[in-house]
Amino acid sequence: MDKKQENKKVFLEIVNQLRELIKHEGIQPGEKLPSERVLSERLNVGRSSVREALRSLELLGLIETRHGGGTFLSAVHSNQLVELLASFILQENKAVEDVHIVRRMHEKEAIRVICSEQSLRSLPVWESLFMKLELENEIVRDLLLRELMIASGNRLALKIWIQLAAYSATPLKKLSTEEEKPMLQMLIKSLQLGYEREALSAYENWIHYLRNSSS
C-alpha cells in the first residue's frame, strides 16, 4: 500500500529523465541530443521507448529530428513560444497559479468570442454537451472546455491552452448533480443565447466551485 500507485505512463518518466539529462549536460537550444541508441543505453530502456518519449517531445515542439542527422533541441526561431512554455511548465512548478490564471483567461476569452458570433453560438456541439450533462460523467468538464477553445477558432490559443491544460488538469471527481450541473447548464445556455455576462458569470462560479471542492 505504501507504494504509490503512479499510473504514470513510463514513456512520460523517460521524458523526465531526458529533461534532467538535457539540463545536466547543459544542452542548449539548437544543439544536438545524444543519439537514440546512446539514450537507450544511458537510460536503461529500449530504443523504441526512447523513440516514444522523443515523439512526445517532438509533438510539443521541443525537439526536431532530422533523418540521418540527429535529434536537436528546438532552435529559438522555429518554435520559441512552445519551447518557452515547456521550459516554464516542465521545469519549476512554483508558478502553478500563473498557469491556472492564463488558462482561465484563454477560456474566458473563448467564451467572449463565441458569444459574439452567432454562427459559433448555434453550433450543435453545445446542445450535444448539454445533453451529455445528464450522463453525470466527469469527462464533460474537459469536453466542454476543449470545445470552447476549438470553437473560438484561434489555433494559437488552442495550442497554448492544450499545453496549459495538460499541466493543470481538471478534477477527476464525479460530476456533482445538485451543484455543478446547474452551473454548466447555465453556462451552455447563456453561451447559446449570446449572453456574455451570464456565461462568464456561470463560468467563474464553476471554476470557483471546482477549486474549492477539490482542496
Partner DNA sequence: GTTCAAAAGTGGTCTGACCACTTTTTATTA
Partner DNA sequence: TAATAAAAAGTGGTCAGACCACTTTTGAAC
- What is the rounded CA–CA span in Å between residue 42 and residue 21? 10
Q: How far is the CB of 69 from a copy of itself (least distance, A)?
A: 13
Apex CA 77: angle with CA 70 and CA 163, to 5°? 85
Does position 101 interact with a copy of itself (CB under 8 A)? The reply is yes
Q: How far is the CB of 46 from a copy of itself (least distance, A)?
A: 10
Q: Would the CA dihedral through 214, 15, 100, 124 be positive or negative?
A: negative
* Grid cell of 141 as nine digits: 468538464
Asked whether the beta carbons of 185 and 133 are under 8 A apart, the reply is yes
Q: Which does 35 bind (CB under 5 to 8 A by kind): DNA, a copy of itself, none?
A: DNA
Q: Which lies closer to DNA via its Cβ, residue 52 or residue 204?
A: 52
CA dihedral 141, 177, 118, 161 (to 10 degrees): -10
Count the site residues for a copy of itself by CB under 8 A: 51
Does position 51 interact with a copy of itself (CB under 8 A)? The reply is yes
Does position 142 interact with a copy of itself (CB under 8 A)? The reply is yes
The single residue among 76, 116, 208, 213 that binds a copy of itself, judged by CB under 8 A, is: 76
- What is the rounded CA–CA span in Å between residue 12 and residue 16? 6
Does position 154 interact with a copy of itself (CB under 8 A)? The reply is yes
The single residue among 21, 75, 90, 175 that binds a copy of itself, judged by CB under 8 A, is: 75
Q: Which does 90 bind (CB under 5 to 8 A by kind): a copy of itself, DNA, none?
A: none
